[in-house]
Amino acid sequence: MEIKTPGNILEDEKEDEQPLSPAARLFHAPEFNCNIISVIGSKSKIDPDVIIRGFQQTFIRHPRFSSKLVSDGDNGQNQRWVRTNVVVEDHVIVPEIKPQNIENTDAFLEDYVSDLMKIPLDTSKPLWEVHILDLKTSDAENVAVFKVHHSVGDGMSMMSLVLACMRKTSNPDELPSLPYQKRSSSSGSSLLTTGSRGDSRLLWLVKLLWMAVILGLNTFCDSLDILLTMLFVKDTETPIKGDFRSSKSKQLRLVHRTVSLDDIKLIKNAMDMTVNDVVLGVTQASLSRYLERRYGEKETKRKPKNLLKRIRLRSALLVNLRPTTGIQDLADMMEKGSKCWWGNRFGYVVFPFSIALRNDPLEHLKTAHKTINRKKNSFGAMLTYVFCRIIVKSLGIEVAATIINRLMSNTTMTFSNMVGPVEEVSFYGHPITYIASSAYGHPHALTIHCQSYMNKMTITLLVDPTVISDPHQLCDDWEESLRSIKAAVHKRGSPRLWDYLRLLSNRVAWLLYKMAGIIYKML
> CA 170, CA 512: separation in Å to the nearest integer?
52
Residue 330 Cα distances to 9, 173, 400, 423, angstroms:
29, 16, 32, 21
State yes or no: is 449 an active-site residue: no
Nearest-CA neighbor of 427 among 219, 146, 184, 68?
146
Q: Are 43 and 432 in contact (CB under 8 A)?
A: yes
SS3 237: coil
> CA 175, CA 111: separation in Å to the nearest integer?
34
Per DSSP, the residues of 290-304 read HHHHHHHTS--SS-H
Catalytic residue among 91, 131, 150, 364: 150
> CA 165, CA 428: separation in Å to the nearest integer?
7
> CA 117, CA 112: separation in Å to the nearest integer?
9
Q: Are 335 and 184 in contact (CB under 8 A)?
A: no
> CA 225, CA 317: separation in Å to the nearest integer?
14
> CA 54, CA 507: separation in Å to the nearest integer?
56
Positions annotated as catalytic residues are 150
